Chain A
């Protein structure tokens, strides 16, 4: 069942058409990735979906409520983690959580229970008395997530959540998000510049110049836009020329010969045929970065 459906969504700023009639849907409980280069229209779309800005045309249904008509209801069911911290810098973590949590109309005891829960999930117990301004970027991000989870949203929007945090923090943030998602059946709507973060998504939509240029599962997109490479180690000196003569796309580094192949059957047949000519091998799949770069470059060339 879809929790978000977007039909012909468009938004312009004066003469500039930032988003040009895009349509997509997000399945309930899934991790959905919305990707695109800078200036593609991602932020414009997210700002509208999170009820921050109005849009020009199209129909958007979020958790059964029509965007633009039932925004108040939508706001109750979404949580947003922004790129930049949006809590009060001069207040402590506990004060920030109390104040922002109070905006959802919970009773005092219910709010306390919810704060205790998100504090445990995000492991920020020791930070409660600390002022938000005096925390590291990683700590602030954990508090931001706690704030976004306080009302147990059905949809969690993550707008480049890993920007400015180190790799270790990024990993712990993702563990936290994935665990909460599984436990609560929450839908996660992600935009990110770290393509590897999108590899676990159930569906990826890629946008460029305000239009969707492709969508699918990470596997489908990688298959479509990346090649698989077979790396051969310890080869005999004549092998490279031989492979090229056979019309294979092959190159060499000091360590290995790299052969580009796409189909699984071709790879198996190739390895069987040349198994006596190399000492070991490795099959290298295309990465999410490769997929994204290739797709966006194709789009740029097409324009």
Chain B
């Protein structure tokens, strides 16, 4: 029955072109802003900073690095926007009273949240993979550097875990929404906040230290840093080949390409574990809330 509901949820998401397009809109708007305005500024800042240390960097390599950095940010928000769009099925099920039909059929209702989370995770993964392919092709064409297979594999793994975490995390607030209007308001707020929390537009180092520390505690930000650390590895080596290790560390810390809390660097497995724990907590909260609403039809 999980398979049936899972399939149904995927069909409902992809049958709604508006929902699919809306999952991409914020991503491509952000990408356009970067390509047209912020990208060149970001490149210039890095080139000039290196120049002050008498290091000349190849602008194409820096551009490659910045594009990869942007891609990391994009891949951290797509699972959020796409998976929460997948969760919209639950709101519609309540609003259009479809839940009545499901509840009066011999479906064990504890299967419903599982199918919903799985479908939303897959939606998040598929949409993020699509963005990875589209933006990845642009980067390859612009930089002439293909992504190594292990990097692609690593990115897909992180995106999978991140999508699962986003689906679990968003499922809890979405389970309180009873109308699509309420749900849209929630989405607007979340979409607005997530770009800031994940430091998609500006490097985390620009922010005050307390804010940096707070954001770096959040697994969403850590997911961004994890993605950037994997995607930016090769371009960083190219740009910072003549720079001392401290210089590279400073860049990584400032740009959020490595996860640091206070003076401590956080290993990747800790981030993965942290994401898994958040997923579990919010999944339990969601399923408990869903079960509590037994009489809501």
Contact = CB atoms under 8 A, between A and B. Distances in A.
Interface in A74-102: 75-76, 78, 80, 82, 84, 86-91, 95, 99-100, 102
A53 interface: yes
Interface residues of B toward A: which range?
A: 20 to 34
Nearest to B15: A90
B97 A99 contact: no
A103 B107 contact: yes
A248 interface: no
Nearest to B108: A72
Given A54-B294, A99-B4, A103-B1, A86 B98 contact: yes
Contacts of B96: 84, 86, 89
Given A86-B97, A87-B98, A52 B16 contact: no
A203 B12 CA distance: 42
Contact of B12 (A82, A91, A103, A104): A91
Interface in B95-120: 96-98, 100-108
- Greatest chain A CB density within 10 A among B1, B4, B102, B108 is at B4
Main secondary structure of the interface of A (DSSP, over half): loop
Nearest to A96: B8
A247 interface: no
Interface residues of A toward B: which range?
A: 20 to 34
A222 B106 CA distance: 39
- Greatest chain A CB density within 10 A among B97, B103, B108, B297 is at B103
A99 B7 contact: yes
B106 A52 contact: no
B104 A52 contact: yes
Interface string B1-12: 100100110011
A237 interface: no
Contact of B295 (A50, A54, A78, A84): A54
A105 interface: yes
Contacts of A72: 106, 108
Contacts of B15: 90-91
B101 A90 contact: no
A260 interface: no
A51 interface: yes
A116 interface: no
A102 to B, nearest CB: 4
B103 A88 contact: no
Given A75-B106, A100-B105, A104-B105, A52 B4 contact: no
Interface string A18-62: 000000000000000000000000000001001111100000000
A51 B100 contact: no
A46 B37 CA distance: 61
A86 B4 CA distance: 17
Given A82-B100, A90-B16, A91-B15, A103 B106 contact: yes
Given A54-B295, A72-B106, A89-B96, A100 B12 contact: no
Interface in B1-55: 1, 4, 7-8, 11-12, 15-16
Contacts of B12: 88, 90-91
Given A72-B106, A90-B16, A80 B4 contact: no
Contacts of B297: 47, 52-53
Contacts of B97: 82, 84, 86
A102 B107 CA distance: 10
A216 B39 CA distance: 80
Contact of B8 (A76, A88, A89): A88
Contacts of A104: 105-106
Nearest to B294: A54
A102 B100 contact: no
A100 B100 CA distance: 12
Given A75-B104, A87-B98, 17 more contacts: A52-B100, A52-B297, A54-B294, A75-B105, A80-B101, A82-B97, A86-B96, A86-B101, A87-B101, A88-B12, A90-B11, A91-B12, A99-B4, A102-B1, A102-B4, A103-B4, A105-B106
The 7 closest A-B pairs by CB, nearest first: A86-B101, A102-B4, A90-B15, A75-B106, A103-B105, A53-B295, A50-B104
13 contacts: A50-B104, A51-B104, A78-B104, A86-B97, A87-B98, A90-B12, A91-B11, A91-B12, A102-B1, A103-B102, A103-B107, A105-B1, A105-B106
